[in-house]
Amino acid sequence: MFREGRMSVDGEVPKDIHRPDHPNSVGWVRPRKAILFEERPLELEAGGTLGPVEMEYEIYGQEPGPGGENVILICHALTGDAHVAGWDADPLGPIREYRRAKPGWWDQMVGPGKAIDTNRFMVLCANVLGSCYGTSGPSSTNPATGRPWGLGFPMVTVGDWARQQRELLSLLGLGHVKAVVGGSMGGQMALEMGLAYPDLMDDLIILSAGHRVTSQGLAFNVAGRHAILNDPVFNDGDYYGGPWPLSGLAVARMMAQITYLSEESMGFKFGRRLRGKESPDFTLTGIDFELESYLNHQAQSFVKRYDPNSYLYLTRAMDYYDAADKWGGGDMAAMAERIRARTMVVSFSSDWLFPPELCRELVSGMCLARRPISYVNVPSRYGHDAFLVETETVRRLITCYLKQF
């Protein structure tokens, strides 16, 4: 098995229901590294080339079967990484010594006996180009200068990420996989892989994602990037070795966090409740509301672990992506004709970043193209975050879907 759990690691084992010695955990894991595009650089969709490319990935579960029929590739969301399950055996994370003292971002779904069962499948997750979690990006060293790339790093697209994932599979000797699974930005990647490499997979599972972002989603991304670009210490992206533009990144994260929630979820969790007081302080600088405190906490946690330049690159790639325009000349059915995999699309009723009506456009295109499609719209108050929060529902959907075939 590709399981790397049960290894001896210095320090106290985190006390959590998903602790690494739990029988349903993949245990302690360490990231792996691959060097791609050494002999022939990656031809980027936006122009230019890049190579060699360093790529971080993790693998759990079984050895790959003949033809890759038991391999599942998981594509991570915007600020996620390859650490999808288990506990990171590396004591320090990749950005400014941030400690990842928690299980992988989808640990509830991936592991022995879980929805994506590592007793049955080999599970692979790889970090995307432009990120700051071990794969080549703006914080990586530019071999031509010996300094971080900064904004000199080339523009990357969702199509480049799909090519990168395909190259890694080839390096691992995998010409075919059982399924490609992704949520949010990862759902865009999964869709792109189904379009670019229609014979690569048997199944696509797309959660909280569509063929493009909405106008509102685009607007929030624009405003978030504006906050970073206009931070006083941004220095045209060349801030490595000095103060980072964390104020701008914090604002961008707050705005993004709002898009991940819904009015109902914010009202249920926070409403207009004051934080530890009976009446407001009537100040401009204090934190009076519980919602204020939550957004501030999310922002301050995020800036400890993420590179502002990476945020610029990844949100820009999401904004540029329009699968129907790229593959169908704007026609959803023409686009969907390229897909050969069985597909399941899952939307969530209160998600307004990738709302149900946007997901249904993809489903309708699949129906018009007479492609096998399953669609579920899950009633939820949790907004876009529902694909991570509605654990039991998502677990049942994925478990039942994978057991069909």
Query: Cα–Cα distance between 105 and 176 in angstroms, integer?
Result: 25
- Give the pLDDT score at 101: 60
Residues catalogued as catalytic: 184, 351, 384
Quote the CA–CA distance of 250 and 31 in Å, as a whole number. Answer: 27
Q: Is the dihedral of CA 155, 161, 162, 164 positive or negative?
A: positive
pLDDT value for 24? 86
Same fold, 28-213+323-404 and 217-311: no
Q: What is the pLDDT of residue 351?
A: 97
Residue-level pLDDT at 194:
98
Could you please state the CATH topology (level 3) that the domain comprising 217-311 is classified under. Answer: Rna Polymerase Sigma Factor; Chain: A (1.10.1740)
> What's the confidence (pLDDT) of residue 285?
85
Point out the residues of the chain with pLDDT beneath 70: 1-18, 91-101
Q: Which pLDDT score is estimated for 95?
A: 56
On whether the 28-213+323-404 domain is CATH 3.40.50.300, my answer is no
Show me where the domains of the chain are located.
28-213+323-404, 217-311
The pLDDT value given to residue 208? 98
pTM of the predicted model as reported, rounded to 2 decimal places: 0.93
